[in-house]
Each structure stands twice: as C-alpha cells, then as structure tokens.
Amino acid sequence: MSMEWFDRVSGELQDYLESICDEYDEVGHMTVDRAAKHPRIEFFVETSEDESEYFCSLFFDPHNEEFYVKTLELDREQMSKTVLPDIEDIIDEVHESFHEFMEGVSGWEEDHEWVMEDEADDDEVFEQIDVEWSTPEVTAYAHEDEVEVTYQFGVIEETGDGVLRRVNRIKTVDNELLEDETNFIFSKEEANTIIAMIASHADSLSEFDFNK
C-alpha cells in the first residue's frame, strides 16, 4: 500500500482549483485526513457564522492506490462508488461539485453570509436508505411531559456506515406534539475520533436549565 499518489494530489489540488476557478479561489477550502483507513480530502466553504458547508468528499483507497467519491443513487436506493483515475478527473469532480453546490445558494453577500434556497427534505432522502437499527430509541433526557430527546443507532446495510438518529419531541401549550428528526452518518474510521472528542469536552458543557 502506497500513499505517494494521495500525498501528491493533496499537495497540489488546492493550487489547481484556485487557478482554474476564481469563484473557488475566493471561498473554497479543503481539509486532509490522512490518518483514516481510507484517507480523504474534504472541500467546504465557510459562512459568516463560522460554520463549514461541505460540498465534496474525496476518498483514497491505499490498497488499490485510487481516488473515489461516493454517490447516493435514489433510483436504486443505494450508494455507488465512482473511481477517479487521474488528477484531471479529480479536479473536474471537485469543480463540478462546487458549482452544483453554488447553484443551491441564492446569494453570497458582501458580509460572506450564505442565503440558502429551499433544499430537498433530508429525511425524504434518508428514507431511501436501508438501515439496520441495532438499538431501540434510547431517551437521552426528558422533562415532565413537555420535552423528550431520544437517540437510536443503526448501520447502513449497503455501505456499513453508522447512523445516529436523533428525535426531539416537544409538546406545545395547545397540547400538540411536534417532532424534529435528524440523522448523522459516519464511517467506522470516524467513530473513535467522534467518541474521543465528546469524551474530552463533555465536562465543559452546561446542563439545560428548564427554568429559564
């Protein structure tokens, strides 16, 4: 297994993208994770709220020495893998992903604040993926009959990635039950890093004050 091709591409890719696209040069960024089993390069833009909006994840298979991207095929309800054999293909993929992302943005204001257009319902897309739930819903916290937050862990059958499902249930003053569901997908290589980060910083978090 060799990382030479990964290091060459990650070392030159930012310069290539900046030279062919003025718009990317202004707002595009990339980060490199070399320690994962399948190292990856992720591309993002930053908002005025100091948040990162990712638009492309480029993976590297060190055994086969090849780059690839993952794509969700809604018609087949599964993830597919597209191999990118040379740097021109890699540049084209990232460049195209960047402009597809920009088409979903209605404006880049002078104060660098993204104004997002209506997006497809993430839950609708998520329902297309087959998940084997390993746990039931587990209550993280609850307050009387007003608020309840639960978590559930599962594995995507096609890719083997993990899924953390969070459901927030709130009862209104009119006795109406509102539910908000979010799903976080992560790889096995990411799991230990996520666990370690949470464990290291959990003591700095504040408990929720229901009396406010």
Residue 212 has pLDDT above 70, yes or no: no
Choose between 73 and 16: higher pLDDT. 16
Say whether 56 sits in a helix, a strand or coil.
Answer: strand
CB contact burial 85-115 (16+ within 10 A = b; e otherwise)? eeeeebbebbbebbeebbeeeeebeeeeebe
At residue 170, φ and ψ (nearest 5 deg) are -130, 135
Asked whether the predicted pLDDT for residue 152 surpasses 90, the reply is: yes
- Strand 162-171 with 147-156, pairing: antiparallel
Mean pLDDT, to the nearest integer, of 48-77? 78
Question: Quick one: what percent of the chain has pLDDT higher than 70?
Answer: 79
How does residue 178 score in pLDDT terms, banded at 50, 70 and 90?
confident
- How would residue 120 be classed by pLDDT, with cut points 50, 70 and 90? very low
**pLDDT digit string, tens, across residues 72-117:** 655 555 667 899 999 999 999 999 988 888 876 544 444 444 444 3
Q: What is the pLDDT of residue 78?
A: 63
Q: Could you tell me which residue, 154 or 192, shows the higher pLDDT?
A: 154
> Containing H/E element for 113?
none
> What is residue 110's predicted lDDT score, i.e. its pLDDT?
40
- Percentages of the chain per state (helix, strand, coil), in multiples of 5: 30, 40, 30
Strand order in the sheet with 78-84: 29-33, 40-46, 52-61, 66-73, 78-84
61: helix, coil or strand? strand
Q: What is the pLDDT of residue 67?
A: 93
